[in-house]
Amino acid sequence: MENPSLRAGISLTELTATFVPAGLLIATSLLAAEFTLSLDRYRALYPLWAAAALAIPAVYAHVAADGVRSMQRYWLLFWTFSFAAFLIHLGYSFKGYHRGSWLEVALAAVWAVDLALGWFSDSQARWVAFLRAGVLLGVLAWFTYALVSHSGEWLPLLLGFALVGAAVLGLWPRG
């Protein structure tokens, strides 16, 4: 059975609807860090928040897609931009703030494999679905843990709950 590539059908509207908010969010996260007293800490932290914010629509689109190609394309785009923000977070984590976590490196590695499959493979194999579900659960668990437990601020707490809420809402039965 032929499965047309997700990347082949991405429209300019879909790309714009994901790239503009992602670009603004990532740029804002990096610029906001410049106005803090703990530059290294917030250069690592704010892009993590941006990655979580971009993962919210990605998680919802993936869970709720149910074969709808446009939802799958939105998942791929938001998932990619969330990964880019996560890589910025990871880079600054190793550069200065807390020397990074090897668990985050492992998460980034499997996330990169998932994205490579999303962009360059048309496979519908079961192992791809299991890998994607594992990566999704890993990212969801890591972001929720990192956001809810490592900060006393309201925004990361809200992002953590919104991320879980997006997954639950995506699973909600549609009638």
Q: What is the DSSP string of 67-133?
A: T-HHHHHHHHHHHHHHHHHHHHHHHHIIIIIS---HHHHHHHHHHHHHHHHHHH-----HHHHHHHH
Q: State pLDDT tens for residues 74-131.
A: 999 999 999 999 999 999 988 775 666 888 899 999 999 999 999 988 777 888 888 8
pTM over 0.85: yes
pLDDT of residue 1: 35
Question: Percentage of residues in the chain with pLDDT exceeding 90?
Answer: 46
pLDDT of residue 86: 96
68: confidence class by pLDDT, cuts 50, 70, 90 = confident
pLDDT of residue 6: 64
Q: Over the Cα atoms of the chain, what is R_g?
A: 16
- Read off the pLDDT of each residue in 128-148 and give the average, rounded to a whole number: 86
Question: Percentage of residues in the chain with pLDDT exceeding 70?
Answer: 90
Q: Which amino acid is at 73?
A: R
DSSP state of 35: T
pLDDT value at 151 more than 70 = no
pLDDT of residue 4: 55
What's the Cα-to-Cα distance from 131 to each of 33, 100, 112, 117, 161, rounded to whole Å?
34, 24, 11, 10, 24
pLDDT of residue 20: 97
Highest mean pLDDT among 28-32, 150-154, 169-173: 28-32
Lowest mean pLDDT among 34-48, 104-118, 158-172: 158-172
2: confidence class by pLDDT, cuts 50, 70, 90 = very low
pLDDT of residue 127: 87
Sign of the dihedral defined by the CA atoms of residues 63, 65, 69, 75, in that order: negative
Residue with tokens 């601020």: 153
